[in-house]
């Protein structure tokens, strides 16, 4: 769904297949309304930048889409089929991969174990499941080499790795297994300039090679404008508008985030009466 800020009406993109459709999703935490009747669409081979101030509901929406917790109301469709994700592994089994702001890595495990959490490779041997560690090591090395970050060893514990190396392991999950929808929640948070550039390049490279759709949450509008095709703005738990990147500016997006654009519109409407 694309909202026209001038008319408030929905504009469809009939030329592309809808990968994700969110209809009327709401979520409350006690008396706090985190999401209120949120609807949006993500098209095939599209990167959507999801922006908004702190508390706008962005991360709550991502956690619902990734199966961390259920919506109170509303429907979610993946490639036209309604889905009810009961856990992150359930979302992953449907081709939805998530990179969280806190990376969700286990410091006491190595890169291989972190990459394969919930996806361990086994083979049957006399009725017993035997972990195929050598195959996992091989695949992990291939994924990390594809990303292009040097590792001292894929068996190095995460707690001894640099921030960039830990981020690469987290991103390796979507490089390896994200095939329908990738959710990126502040993937460049707390990274240096060089590491940030590497992450943004990896996102662009993965999109080009796999043609996978993505939702990118970021407070850095420069990064959003660098990667996204379309920008969706949330405010106070609601989607307040969307713009094609080519048809907007950072200033306009900021005015939507702060609510200034709507205040100015109301002033103009009042003046016209």
Q: Which residues 6+ apart lie within 8 Å of 86 measured at CB?
A: 67, 70
**77 inside domain:** yes
Residue in 165, 160, 232, 245 with CA at minimum distance from that of residue 199: 165
**Residue 32 is assigned to a structural domain of this protein:** yes
Stated length of the chain: 273
pTM for the full predicted model:
0.81
**What's residue 262's pLDDT?**
63
Domain membership flag for residue 198: no
The H or E element containing residue 272 is helix 260-272
Q: Give the C-alpha separation, 250 to 270, whole Å.
A: 27
- Averaged pLDDT score across all residues of the chain: 85
In a domain, 268, yes or no: yes
- Greater confidence (262 vs 251) lies with 251
Q: Is residue 76 part of a domain?
A: yes
pLDDT of residue 111 exceeding 80: yes
pLDDT at 272 over 70: no
Rounded Cα distance, 218 and 223, in Å: 7
- C-alpha 271/C-alpha 265 separation (Å) is 10
What CATH number does the domain containing 271 carry? 3.40.50.300
Classify each residue of 93-130 as buried b or exposed e, where b means 16 or more C-beta atoms within 10 Å of its C-beta.
Answer: eebbbbbbeebebeeebbbbbbbbeeeeeeeeeeeeee
In the chain, which ranges are E strands?
A: 2-3, 10-11, 18-29, 32-43, 47-51, 73-78, 81-82, 96-99, 122-125, 128-131, 181-185, 213-217, 230-235, 238-244
Establish if 130 belongs to a structural domain. no
In a domain, 22, yes or no: yes
pLDDT tens, residue by residue, 137-184: 998 888 887 776 666 788 888 888 877 778 778 878 877 877 789 999
Distance CA 182, CA 47 (A): 9
Integer Cα distance of 71 and 59 in angstroms? 13
* Residue 144 is assigned to a structural domain of this protein: no
User: What is the predicted pLDDT for the residue at 171?
Assistant: 79
* Domain range enclosing 10: 1-56+71-95+225-249+256-273
Average pLDDT over residues 183-207: 82
Give me the pLDDT at residue 269, please.
52
| Tally of domains within the chain | 1
Are the C-beta atoms of residues 181 and 19 closer than 8 Å to each other? yes
87: closest CA among 63, 112, 122, 114?
A: 63
> Is the distance from CB of 44 to CB of 19 less than 8 angstroms?
yes
Please choose, from the candidates 181, 249, 168, the residue with its C-alpha nearest in 3D space to the C-alpha of residue 215: 181
**Confidence bin at 265 (pLDDT 50/70/90):** low
In whole angstroms, give the CA distance from residue 40 to residue 23.
7
Supply the pLDDT for residue 166: 80
Partnered with residue 40 across adjacent β-strands are 22
Contacts of 128 (CB under 8 A, 6+ apart): none
Please report which confidence band the pLDDT of residue 267 belongs to, taking 50, 70 and 90 as the band edges: low
Contacts of 4 (CB under 8 A, 6+ apart): 10, 11
- Helix 163-177 to helix 133-147 angle (10° resolution) is 110
Q: What is the pLDDT of residue 103?
A: 67
């Amino acid at each position: 769904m694309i909202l026209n800020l001038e008319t408030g009406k929905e504009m469809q993109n009939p030329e592309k297949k809808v990968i994700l459709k969110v209809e009327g999703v709401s979520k409350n935490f006690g008396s706090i309304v985190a999401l209120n009747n949120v609807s949006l669409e993500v098209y095939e081979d599209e990167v959507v930048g999801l922006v908004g101030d702190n508390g706008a509901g962005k991360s709550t929406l991502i956690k619902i889409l990734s199966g961390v917790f259920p919506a109170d109301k509303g429907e979610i469709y993946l490639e036209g089929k309604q889905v009810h994700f009961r856990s992150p592994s359930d979302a992953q089994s449907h081709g939805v991969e998530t990179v969280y702001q806190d990376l969700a890595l286990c410091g006491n495990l190595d890169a291989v174990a972190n990459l394969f959490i919930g996806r361990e490779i086994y083979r049957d041997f006399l009725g017993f499941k035997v972990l195929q560690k050598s195959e996992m090591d091989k695949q992990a090395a291939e994924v990390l080499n594809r990303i292009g970050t040097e590792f001292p060893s894929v068996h190095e514990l995460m707690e001894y790795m640099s921030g960039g190396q830990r981020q690469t392991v987290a991103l390796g999950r979507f490089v390896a297994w994200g095939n329908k929808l990738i959710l990126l929640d502040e993937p460049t948070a707390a990274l240096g300039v060089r590491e940030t550039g590497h992450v943004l390049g990896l996102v662009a490279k993965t999109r080009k090679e796999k043609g996978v759709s993505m939702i990118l949450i970021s407070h850095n509008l420069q990064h959003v404008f660098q990667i996204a095709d379309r920008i969706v703005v949330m405010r106070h738990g609601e989607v307040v508008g969307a713009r094609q990147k080519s048809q907007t500016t950072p200033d306009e997006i900021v005015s939507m985030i702060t609510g200034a654009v709507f205040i100015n519109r109301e002033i103009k409407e009042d003046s016209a009466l």
